[in-house]
Structure formats: C-alpha cells, structure tokens
Structure 1
C-alpha cells in the first residue's frame, strides 16, 4: 500500500521511539526484496531512488520499476528521491514522488540554505516533504578528521529555521559503505543530543551499514527517527548470488532468487534493529 503522506510515519516514529528505514533498490530483484521484507516485518519503508540507480536507468524508469513491483505486495511504502539534484527534484515532483531528499551539503553553507529553501517552497506547494543534509559523510576507508565532517549544531539550528525542511540528515560518525573487518567510528551520540535540542524536525542518519545494532538502537533513543542503508543489503544480495553460483551452473533466475532471499532476511533484521517492525498495520489504518 502506497502512502503519499509518509511524514506522518515519522511523527509516529518520534512518538513511538523507533526509526524508519530508507533503502535503495537496484533492479527488480532488489526492489522485490525490500518490499517483501517490509511486508514480512510489518514495517513501513521508504523505497529510495538513489545515486546508483539514477545513472543506470534514470529517475522515471526507477520510479516505474518501484510502482510495478509494489503492486504485488501489501507493503506500506513511499517512493523517495535520495540525494537528488535540482533537475532530479523537478522530475520527481512531476512524476509524483512521495518524499524528496535534496542534497546541497557539498556547497557553501549560505548557498545550501538558499537552494534548499527553493526546493522546499516548490515541494511544499505539492504537499511533498523535504529532507536535506548538513555536514559531510565520508566514504569508508578514507582518512577523516571528524571535526570537519560533523554537523555543526548552530548551523543546523539556523539551517532548519531558514529552509523549512521537514527532516534533517546529519553527520555524526556514519560513513558511506562498508569494508568487512574495518571497525567504523562510533556514533557521536552526544552530538545527536545537542542537535536534537535545537532542531524541531526529526533527524536522519545516512550510512548505517556496518553500524552495530546496539548503536542503531542508541541513536534512536537519542532522537534519530529515519535511517538510510544500502551496502549491508547489497552485500547480502551478493552473498546469495555467490553461494548459489558455487553450487554449479544454475539458471540465472535461480541465482537471482537466492540473492533476493538473502536480502529479505538482512532487511528484516534492519527493521528489527530500528524498532519499526510491527508498526505498519496501525499506520495503514490511517491510509484507507
């Protein structure tokens, strides 16, 4: 079941003390895995059209891919543009996306404010909530001086006030990607607390792959109510493929199914860690 008003999920998550999952699809099988996992876990899901699939097939085809596969499940879902550019935002609004994340965090602070405010004004005219990012999230394995990457508390307060965004993604120790065996920076929970104290909108963490479940739960307890992940789930899909291929010359369809099954299990585990498993049924009642 598609919900064009996912912002109410986030408010429910704030009230209920859990976080929502936003995950990226890459093809039919990974799209099916995410939707089937959401149905299995009874968890709402942000189906994210992100930075990998857009160069591969474009915003429109990724949107259509999601809608087509979602017809075959009873999952509660919303279609979300992840790290969108201005041109992609325009296309997503025309297509009818349910939620948009505009990313100008790489630009100077004042320019980020101005462009994000413009996106918010456009999207709010169509009733579409906007997520934006402040701070920098490094790629895994890169040398990092965290003081220059963390979201600044005072900038966060001003950014939200002047842009009108509905959700704020912050940098608090997360990274993009996972290197097996490489220990990641622990989440800066004290920073999450300080940002939450001055920012009235829900907080988001990107890059939760590789973050231990205990830290995910701690971040939720300190005010994060949407979390994005991709790498852990792709690794699970890949492991399913490799395990199937190791058994001999199987049909491609059998191999893809093995990847899908493994990714379903990994996604259900994320919902459980975030605390959103078992929450979709009550939210669906408000959609009908």
Structure 2
C-alpha cells in the first residue's frame, strides 16, 4: 500500500506520535543511494519517518551548485522513490539559516508554487527555518514572512526557538545555550496570530543538543516539559542533533514531547563504514580491470553502504519507538481511509 502524503496526513502522524509516546526518524540524505537506504530502513522497521535534505545536499545535486535546482532534482527523486514504499514518508528541507533564506528557501517555495500551479505532484511536505542564531524578534519576523509561502504549497513549517547549539557544525565548541520559555512563547504567538495551533507546526528547542559527534551533548530533556508547562502550550518538539546522543536521553526526550529526531552523522558514518568494510574484505584479492570488476564496480560497494545505513535507520526507529506502528489498522485509517478498509 502506497501512502499519499498531505498536510493533514502529516499532522495526523505527528499527533498520533505525540499521543502515543514515540517519535519518527528524520534521516538526512544526499543522493540516490542514501535515499534508498533511508527508505529501506523505514520500510524494514515498519515506521513512518522523514527523509530530509540540507542546503549542502541540494547544492551537490545541482550541476551549477544551485540549491533551488538541486532541491527540486533530489526532491523529485525522493518523491518517486517513496511510491514503492509501504510506510508513510515525508520529504523535508532541513536547516535553512537566516543568511540563506532569500537564496534557498524563499526562491524554492516560489518555484514549488509555480510547479504546483502547473499541475505537478507535490515534491516537499515540510520545510525548516533555523532562526536559532537570530534575536527572537528577527526570528519571528522571518517566520511571518515564510508562512504564506509554505501554505501556498500545502506544506508544514518547522522552526527553531532561540538558543545556541553545541557542536563544531554550529560554530559553538563549548556548551549550548538553552532555549527559554519566553522565546518559545514569542514563536507560539506568531503562529497563533496566523490562525494556527501547536498541531500545525514543528518546534525545535535547544536543550543541550550538539550537532555531529565532536562535542558530547549535555542534554536536559526535562526542559521540554518545563517549557510546555510555562507557556501553557503542548508542542510538537523536534530533537536536533540526535547522532551520538545517549539512548536514555533520547527516550527521555521522546517522553517529554519529541515527535521527530534528526539523524545525519550516525547514518553518514554507517554508510561509509559499510563501504569501507567492503574494501577491507576485498584486500588481498586481485582487483585489476580484468579480474576485479566485482570490487571496483560502484554497484557493489554502494550496496554495502546501503545495507549498513539501512540497518542503522532500523536501530533509530526502534530506539524512538516508531518501529511497527505503520502497520496498525488505526494508523492506516488516519492516513488513507480507502486503502485501510
């Protein structure tokens, strides 16, 4: 059974995860092979999830390093790949910082509207604006500017409250600065002013996270519930920087309201480790052009990378508690009342 992803479908998935205490893997991919590996992992785990691309992946997918062109090229590949899957998969753009809003996310949303008006099937289901490095007033001003564009393409917006993340990828080598209830309340008001509720968007907050694995995260998952209590609003939280986080902290974050966890470094490593293991095993075997095609043919080592990454995605789904939920009758009825009969 193939699932048709709509905004309402995605909201239903997120609401179900929140109410039943689990979260979805959100796996960053950069090409066809990592996309196949990520989707295969969700399929094997019988878990819904997100497949997402960063601006770096988008640029790499463009012959001229254009993130808008690359997003559409890679997004179309992922959209078509998911048609062969039997679990719900959302396609998402990840971490658009303020300095690239006008060169990536805004022109991408406008081009997607043109494609939608021309009758093309939807490519992306959700989009992420990362205003965590901005002052809160600048952050919410950009959110206000993006919301109509996201609505025009029937998308869901993920945003980030103030607070600096730890990790060299974020330019913060020491401990993170935690998000505050005051900043979160400003974001909540911004969506309320647009006629939306907490069920209509995703919210990432800094609770000690670290992107990558170079910095050990100092996680305080209880902060998520504290913010919800102090703002009087339950939130659909996103856990950024899931790679390298202790399992107990991940489970605690889910128990405190996380419904989506981003994973990139761990799955990148798994893919490369699979390729490396393939060649380590091949050491000592003649690999000339005449006799070693089974080693230098990229199809073989790509398959090894896919297999290793797929296994890691299954592990993530099991840790987050989403594994197995995509096959329940109740779950199907939320997604597709016709095929659920």
Task: Normalising by structure 1, report the TM-score.
Answer: 0.91
1:13 to 8, 11, 17: 17
Match of 1:223 in 2: 257
3-state SS, counterpart of residue 48 of structure 1: strand
Moved more, 164-173 or 18-27: 164-173
Offset of residue 128 of structure 1: 1.8
What are the Cα deviations for residues 5-26 of structure 1, in whole angstroms up to 9, with x where unaligned? 3121110011111111111111
Match of 1:170 in 2: 205
Q: Tell me, yes or no, if structure 1 residue 45 matches structure 2 residue 78.
A: no
Q: In the alignment, is the contact (CA less than 8 A) between 1:48 and 1:82 conserved in 2?
A: yes
Q: Structure 1: any 5+ residue segments left out of the alignment?
A: none
Q: Give RMSD over aligned pairs.
A: 2.0
Paired residues, number? 283
2:134 to 96, 99, 107: 107
Q: In the alignment, is the contact (CA less than 8 A) between 1:20 and 1:226 conserved in 2?
A: yes
Q: In the alignment, is the contact (CA less than 8 A) between 2:166 and 2:208 conserved in 1?
A: no
Match of 1:286 in 2: 334
Match of 2:181 in 1: 153
Match of 2:76 in 1: 64
Q: In the alignment, is the contact (CA less than 8 A) between 2:29 and 2:35 conserved in 1?
A: yes
3-state SS, counterpart of residue 159 of structure 2: strand
What are the Cα deviations for residues 31-70 of structure 1, in whole angstroms up to 9, with x where unaligned? 0011111111110011112133112112111101212322
What are the Cα deviations for residues 131-165 of structure 1, in whole angstroms up to 9, with x where unaligned? 1011222324953243xx21112111122212456
Q: Which has the larger radius of gyration?
A: 2
For residues 265 and 285 of structure 1, the distance between their equivalents in structure 2, rounded to whole angstroms, comes to: 28
| Structure 1 segment 168-207 matched on structure 2, within 5 A | 168-179=203-214, 184-197=216-229, 198=231, 199-207=233-241
Q: Structure 2: any 5+ residue segments left out of the alignment?
A: 62-69, 116-121, 193-199, 288-294, 337-341
Q: Aligned in 2, Cα 1:55/1:125: closer, same or farther, shift over 3 Å? A: closer
